[in-house]
Amino acid sequence: MTNTAAPLDDRPSAACIGVFDSGVGGLSVLRALHRHLPHSRLLYVADSGFAPYGERDEGYVVERSRVLTTHLLREGAQLIVVACNTATAAAVRALREEHADVQFVGVEPGIKPAIALSRSGRIGVMATRGTLASDKFRRLVSSHAQGAQLHLQACAGLAHAIEAGDANSAEVLALVDRYTAPLREAAVDTVVLGCTHYPFVAQHIQRALGAGVQLVDTADAVARRVQQLIVGLRSADVQAAARPARLWTTGDLATLTLVAGRWLDFEVETRQLPAV
């Protein structure tokens, strides 16, 4: 089963939290934020019109991250969650330098918790090519993976297939089977979901790997970090915090609306963000 933490004890104060991803995958992080921080105002941008990030060069990802950050700050975000492993690896340092007065929380593959959970020390990491090739990922491995056997599995096309909105499509199932096969052969007992899209097909990944393999998703850890950081922020307007979460997309609005309706259990409003 996916590793999750117990819900957090939320404070009555609220903040306006902006979240962005290359597409709809970051909704898995938005879901955790709402569960643990229900009083906060949530804003989200799916950059589906410019996805996938995992197969783009670093400069492209940095520029898109700047554009989305600017939009969220203009809409009132007090803290930004970069809910994309590839964008975190490529752009979060530049964003922090350019917006020194704003807190940024990135996401990264859960190597450290996976090592703590693993019985055998054989750990699989499913992620995009961009994440696995990044300097940030190499530093993460160097810091935490001593003694563990990491089996890195680039999952080309999987995030894009999930992005279409049907987590049970034949294409998604075929890709999951393809990318879990090497991990089964390596006899891993723990697998890191290194892309925020992947929790939405966790049930298929679990089925393909077997019940004895533990899956690690870091969405709850991100929510805990955000809770720590919003303590020092001024409280957002109470009426604004009570409104539905606002979601934009640079891609197809109907797809975002459909996916949000399927994957989220709280009220949202969806909007088109003109391609910028």
- pLDDT given for residue 235 in this prediction: 67
Which residues of the chain are modeled with pLDDT < 70?
1-13, 234-242
- pLDDT given for residue 8 in this prediction: 46
Domains of the chain: residue spans and CATH: 2-107+220-272 (3.40.50.1860), 111-218 (3.40.50.1860)
pTM for this model (two decimals): 0.87
- pLDDT given for residue 274 in this prediction: 85
84 catalytic residue (yes or no) = yes
> How many Å apart are CA 28 and CA 196, to the nearest integer?
6
The catalytically annotated residue of 84, 125, 213, 223 is 84
> How many residues belong to the chain?
276
Q: Is 54 annotated as a binding residue?
A: yes
> How many Å apart are CA 258 and CA 164, to the nearest integer?
10
The per-residue pLDDT for range 43-70, each reduced to its tens digit, is 999 999 998 888 789 999 999 999 999 9
Which residues are within 8 A (CB) of 113 and not within 5 positions of it... i.e. 6 or more apart? 3, 216, 218, 221
- pLDDT given for residue 12 in this prediction: 44
- pLDDT given for residue 238 in this prediction: 55
Q: Are strands 214-216 and 190-193 parallel, antiparallel or unpaired?
A: parallel
Q: Is 197 annotated as a binding residue?
A: yes
- pLDDT given for residue 80 in this prediction: 98
Looking at the DSSP bridge assignments, the partners of residue 249 are 46, 272
> How many Å apart are CA 85 and CA 107, to the nearest integer?
5
The catalytically annotated residue of 195, 219, 268, 273 is 195
Q: Is 196 annotated as a binding residue?
A: yes
- pLDDT given for residue 132 in this prediction: 94
From the list 233, 223, 227, 222, the residue with the least C-alpha distance to 78 is 233
The per-residue pLDDT for range 83-96, each reduced to its tens digit, is 999 999 999 999 99
- pLDDT given for residue 216 in this prediction: 97
**Which residue is it, tokens 């009220």?**
267
> How many Å apart are CA 274 and CA 276, to the nearest integer?
6
- pLDDT given for residue 159 in this prediction: 92
- pLDDT given for residue 232 in this prediction: 75
CA 206 to each of CA 9, 18, 127, 173, 210: distance values in angstroms, whole numbers, following the listed order: 29, 31, 16, 12, 6
Greatest Cα-to-Cα distance within the chain, rounded to the nearest angstrom: 53
Q: Is 21 annotated as a binding residue?
A: yes
User: Looking at residue 178, what DSSP letter applies?
Assistant: H
